[in-house]
């Protein structure tokens, strides 16, 4: 954790926008982060994260990057790699943890190998969609069809009957060459907030639609938020433990949000299924991490500042094979 006064002497660039399907959400997060930092007296500036990102960072003489990006080329390790090369300390997880968390297939393989419960699923590659046959799956309809590397429920469809499959696959393949098809778990949607390597709380989301869709996430009144999540104490504590384990298994840092399902069965304790880890959770007015933080007594400016003070480079110069910052060729 860095020193507050040291950061007050640095120029902070809030990276926002980007080129993913979550650009608009990123702009909302970035503006909220920027306002909080400026209100706390930091020398903070907005930085558009497009093809000219490296040039913009250099032009604005940015010393530290607060990453307010979501989705690919921002949350998947790409921006983190650029910042490592430019030797600009940044918030959140490093390159590998970001890439692992963004890829639902790889992250679930890691979870399964380490005993974390995940939904049963299959992966369908582009070109093999004709072989998609629910009759051969180890689970029955309904199923959830989603891109392997998108967030905010972008491209997600709940398929109730076989007639919906072609359209669902077309939507999901619009975001990448692989699609994840998983069993539909009827239950409750639980999210756990992690800050500085400890769980700070769990919230339950009760969407008014079929599931916690993109629209439900960013439209006021489309979902009910229950904080703290109304679970039996043993199950609540288990949710926090699973969230922290998932965060650590992927090597995450800073603030993350772990999404899971809680399948209830009368007569026995609920059962959790870990879905994914979000390394750059939303920071909008309807976002869950800030709400979880408020429940733990951490207001939005304090949350933003705590994330900022954790900014650092994850690859030291020695590990990169360099003795000093290069001055050019």
Half-sphere exposure of 26 (CA within 13 A, CB side): 27
Catalytic residue among 276, 287, 305, 310: 276
Catalytic residue among 93, 98, 278, 287: 278
Catalytic residue among 77, 257, 270, 305: 257
Catalytic annotation on 115? no
State how far the Cα of 12 lies from the Cα of 83, in Å rounded to an integer: 13
Catalytic annotation on 248? no
Catalytic annotation on 278? yes
Catalytic residue among 18, 22, 201, 204: 22
| Full 3-state SS string of the chain | CCCHHHHHCCEEEEEECCCCCCHHHHHHHHHHHHHHHHHCCCEEEEEECCCCHHHHHHHCCCCEEEECCCCCCCCCCHHHHHHHHHCCCECCCCHHHHHHHHCHHHHHHHHHHCCCCCCCEEEEECCCHHHCCHHHCCCCCCEEEEECCCCCCCCCEEECCHHHHHHHHHHHHCCCCEEEEEECCCCEEEEEEEECCEEEEEEEEEECCCCCCHHHHHCCCCEEEECCCCCCHHHHHHHHHHHHHHHHHCCCCCEEEEEEEEEEECCEEEEEEEEEEECCCCCCCCCHHHHHHHHCCCCHHHHHHHHHHCCECCCCCCCCCCCCCCCCC
Catalytic residue among 259, 287, 305, 310: 259
Catalytic annotation on 152? yes
Catalytic residue among 42, 218, 236, 262: 218
Catalytic residue among 26, 98, 107, 152: 152
Catalytic annotation on 213? no
Catalytic residue among 13, 243, 282, 310: 282
**Which residues are marked as active site?**
22, 152, 218, 257, 259, 276, 278, 282
């Amino acid at each position: 954790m860095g020193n507050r006064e040291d950061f007050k002497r640095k120029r902070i660039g809030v990276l926002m926008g980007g080129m993913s399907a979550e650009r608009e959400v990123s702009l909302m997060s970035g503006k909220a982060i920027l306002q909080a930092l400026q209100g706390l007296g930091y020398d903070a500036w907005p930085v558009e994260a497009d093809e000219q990102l490296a040039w913009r960072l250099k032009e604005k003489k940015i010393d530290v990057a607060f990453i307010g990006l979501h989705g690919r080329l921002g949350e998947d390790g790409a921006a983190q790699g650029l910042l490592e090369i430019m030797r600009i300390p940044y918030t959140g997880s490093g390159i590998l943890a970001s890439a692992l968390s963004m890829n639902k297939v790889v992250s679930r393989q890691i979870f399964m190998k380490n005993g974390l419960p995940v939904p049963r699923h299959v992966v369908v590659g582009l070109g093999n969609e004709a072989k998609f046959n629910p009759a051969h799956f180890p689970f029955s309809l309904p199923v959830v069809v989603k891109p392997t590397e998108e967030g905010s429920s972008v491209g997600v469809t709940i398929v109730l009957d076989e007639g919906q499959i072609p359209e669902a696959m077309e939507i999901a393949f619009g975001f990448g060459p692989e699609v994840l098809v998983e069993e539909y778990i009827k239950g409750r949607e639980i999210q756990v907030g992690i800050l500085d390597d400890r769980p700070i709380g769990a919230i339950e989301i009760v969407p008014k639609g079929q599931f916690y869709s993109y629209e439900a996430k960013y439209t006021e009144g489309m979902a009910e938020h229950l904080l703290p999540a109304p679970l039996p104490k043993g199950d609540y504590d288990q949710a926090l433990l699973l969230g922290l384990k998932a965060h650590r298994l992927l090597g995450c840092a800073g603030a993350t949000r772990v999404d899971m399902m809680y399948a209830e069965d009368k007569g026995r304790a609920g059962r959790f299924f870990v879905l994914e880890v979000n390394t750059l959770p939303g920071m909008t007015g309807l976002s869950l991490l800030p709400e979880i933080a408020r429940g733990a007594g951490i207001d939005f400016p304090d949350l933003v500042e705590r994330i900022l003070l954790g900014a650092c480079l994850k690859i030291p110069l020695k590990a990169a094979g360099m003795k000093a910052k290069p001055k050019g060729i």
